[in-house]
Amino acid sequence: MKHPSSLHPDINEFVAKVKQMEKGERLDLSSDEDLSIGIMNLISIEEHLFFTYNKTQNKQHLDLLNQVREMRKAAMRRIVKNEAGEIWCISKHLLAASMRLLEVGTKFLGKGDRPNAEDMLHKSYQLYSLFWGINLGLVKSADVQDLSDGQVKLVSDTSPSQTKTSVSIFAKLGELVQKAIDCCKE
């Protein structure tokens, strides 16, 4: 059987980019990483202003929500270069979901529920890594398939007569994020 990465040129390109980073050819994305965390928090502020408006009916919260939304959009434009199709919305929702799972994971950790904390924090990091994979051009959204078991796979056509094969992208994406984004760079 062929190695999964030999089945799809995008996978081969992805593996080659990860190998380049393993050789010490790092990208300096530390500012973008900080910005992505800031965007996550702006999304959370938008959510809180939405709920606060609905609880209080104070229209000032809508005005604030709109201002925060504009800040978030401007910040996202610095990272999300490809707005084709649904990339913009996918990126926003990946960051939002990553932030929410991070918060749930830290709450589990605070309650002493380490297994659930680890699960939530792992999923948060997977979504965050997928955000970077898409926005660094390593993963194309059309190639990502969400399976019924909750796993996300990178799908490639082997040939018209064969079924699609899938390989987990999270391990490679997590490795890429660890190697490419170094928040300690100044």
Q: Residue 90 is part of which domain span?
A: 27-180
Answer whether residue 173 is part of any domain. Answer: yes
Q: Is the pTM of the predicted complex or chain greater than 0.75? A: no
- Contact residues for 15 (Cβ-Cβ < 8 A; gap 6+): 5, 172
Instruction: Find the largest Cα–Cα distance for the chain.
Output: 63
- In the 8-state DSSP scheme, what is residue 5? G
Answer whether residue 13 is part of any domain. Answer: no
Provide the token pair at 25.
Answer: 């050819």
- The mean of the pLDDT values for the chain is 76
Answer whether residue 146 is part of any domain. Answer: yes
Q: How far is CA 146 from the centre of its chain?
A: 14
**Higher pLDDT residue, 185 or 115?**
115
pLDDT-derived band at 33, boundaries 50, 70, 90:
confident
Answer whether residue 15 is part of any domain. Answer: no
Answer whether residue 57 is part of any domain. Answer: yes
Angstrom distance (rounded) from CA 154 to CA 149: 14
pLDDT at position 123 is 94
pLDDT-derived band at 164, boundaries 50, 70, 90:
very low
**Higher pLDDT residue, 79 or 171?**
79
Collapse the DSSP code of 159 into the 3-class scheme (helix H, G, I; strand E, B; otherwise coil) and give the result.
coil
Answer whether residue 10 is part of any domain. Answer: no
Tell me: pLDDT of 155 over 60.
no
Provide the token pair at 44.
Answer: 């959370």
Domain count for the chain, please give it: 1
pLDDT at position 165 is 41
pLDDT at position 2 is 41
Tell me: pLDDT of 127 over 60.
yes
Answer whether residue 20 is part of any domain. Answer: no
Tell me: pLDDT of 103 over 90.
yes
Answer whether residue 17 is part of any domain. Answer: no
